[in-house]
Amino acid sequence: MIDFESLVKRFGDRTVLKGLSFTVQEGEIVFILGTSGTGKSVLLKTLVGLLRADGGRVRIAGEDVTDLSEENYLPIRRRCGMVFQHPALFDSLTIAENIAYGLMKHERLSLEEAMPRVRECLALVGLGGGDPSLQPDIQLETKLPTQISYGMQKRVSLARTVAVGPKILLFDEPTTGLDPVTTRQINHLIRDLSRKTKTTSMVVSHDMDCALEIADRIVVLDKGMIVEQGTVKEILDSKQPLVIDFLAEAKARTVEQ
C-alpha cells in the first residue's frame, strides 16, 4: 500500500533520512518510533508531498508519487488524511463547520448537506451522543474550538480528517501532551477507526506503550535510519539497545501509574 524505497531527505548538507526502506500493507497500523529529531515528521511530510525526497522512491498503492507536480499531488493528499500533533482547527469556525470544511470545499456540499456526515464522524470519534441520526449534540456542534477541552479538540480534528474518507491515515504524535486516560482513549480510537473505516495507518510516536497496545508492526528509527522493525512480539524480543531503552522506559511508566 505504502512503499518507501531507499528514501533520502537532506536539508542543506544535513542528511536527515538516510535511505529508509519499508512497506506498510493495506489495512495495517504501523508505528514509527524514534527519539526527537530522528526524522519521523519529515518522513510523513515526504509521504504527502509537503517535503520532497532527495533520493529513493515513495509509492502509494503502486503509484510512484516521488516526483509528482504540486498539482498532481492534490488528489494523493486527499487520499491521505493527516492528523497533526496539535489539533489545528479553525478557531473562527464552529465544530460542525470545522468537520464539514473538506466536504464543503472538495465536494461542494452545503453545511446542511454535510451535516449527516459530520454527525456520523462525531459518533466515530466518540462525540456523537449515541445514534448520530437521532441524537445530534447540537450544543457541541455549534461551539467554537476554544470552548472545548484539548482532548476533545484532538477528537474533532480526527473527525475532520476522517470526514473526507481517506484511505490512509497519518498521525503525528497523536497523544503527546495528553493525560494517560485521554491517551488511552485516543489510542483505542485510532485502532477502532482504522478497523471500522478499513484504512491503512501510520502513527509517528515516541510512546512505546501506545505502539505495543495497537500496532500491527513497529518501525524504530534512529538518526534517520531504521534500526529495528517487526511485530509487537518481535519488538519485545529485540536486542537492539534503543528498543531495549524504549521498552524499559515504557515499563517504568506503567509501574508509576
Q: Which residues of this protein are in contact with ligand ATP, per CB under 6 A?
A: 11, 16, 34, 36-42, 206
The one of ligand ATP, Mg ion, none whose footprint includes residue 149, by CB under 5 to 8 A per kind, is: none
Between 98 and 229, CB nearer to ligand ATP: 229
Nearest Cα residue to 101 out of 115, 120, 86, 83: 115
d(CA 92, CA 54): 38
Between 206 and 217, CB nearer to ligand ATP: 206
Q: Looking at 38, 41, 199, 238, which residue binds Mg ion (CB under 5 A)? A: 41
Helices (H), 125-238: 138-141, 150-163, 180-196, 208-214, 232-236
Between 41 and 238, CB nearer to Mg ion: 41
d(CA 11, CA 16): 7
Nearest Cα residue to 46 out of 99, 7, 101, 96: 7
Element (H, E) at 122: helix 111-124
Q: What angle do CA 56, 57, 60 make, to 5 degrees?
A: 160
The one of ligand ATP, Mg ion, none whose footprint includes residue 75, by CB under 5 to 8 A per kind, is: none
**Part of the chain binding Mg ion (CB under 5 A), chosen from 39-47, 93-101, 117-125, 231-239:** 39-47
Cα Rg of the chain, angstroms:
19
Q: Which residues pair with 205 in a beta bridge?
A: 33
Helices (H), the chain: 40-47, 70-79, 95-106, 111-124, 138-141, 150-163, 180-196, 208-214, 232-236, 241-256
Min dist. Cβ of residue 225 to Mg ion (A): 16
Between 25 and 176, CB nearer to Mg ion: 176
Phi, psi of 65 (to 5 degrees): -105, 5
Between 78 and 223, CB nearer to ligand ATP: 223
Min dist. Cβ of residue 208 to ligand ATP (A): 13
Report the residue closest to Mg ion, judged by CB.
41
The one of Mg ion, ligand ATP, none whose footprint includes residue 38, by CB under 5 to 8 A per kind, is: ligand ATP
Min dist. Cβ of residue 121 to ligand ATP (A): 27
User: x/- contact string, 75-114, with Mg ion (CB under 5 A)?
Assistant: ----------------------------------------
Sign of the dihedral defined by the CA atoms of residues 81, 84, 90, 91, in that order: positive
Between 9 and 117, CB nearer to ligand ATP: 9
Min dist. Cβ of residue 135 to Mg ion (A): 38
Cell of 12: 542543506
Q: Write out the residues near Mg ion by the rule CB under 5 A.
A: 41
